[in-house]
Amino acid sequence: SRRRTKEVTVPRQIAMFLMRELLDLPLSRIGDHFGGRDHSTVIHSINKVEEEIGEDEGLRDRIDALRAELGG
């Protein structure tokens, strides 16, 4: 279902975003950590999270909390 897909997709996109931001890993390497996803999928995920952060204060707060937990 769409809801179930979103429950998996959004956390994965956030994880990709944080891996790029905090670890500065190459896009292809980030994709490898998520089942061999293509670098363009990683770019899309990062862009999607950046867009959502600008529109959703709650998401921004949750990502800030994750950054703090991860030492970013």
CATH number at residue 31: 1.10.1750.10
Give the gyration radius of the chain's Cα atoms.
Answer: 12
Give the pLDDT score at 32. Answer: 98
Tell me, what amino acid is at 70?
L
pLDDT tens sequence across 42-53: 999 999 999 999
Entry pTM? 0.91
What is the per-residue pLDDT for 4?
A: 77
Domain enclosing residue 60, as ranges: 2-70
- Write down the mean pLDDT value for the chain: 95
Instruction: Select from 18, 22, 30 the least CA-distant residue to 72.
Output: 22
- Range in 5-9, 30-34, 49-53 with the lowest mean pLDDT: 5-9
Query: What is the count of structural domains for the chain?
Result: 1
23-50: average pLDDT: 98
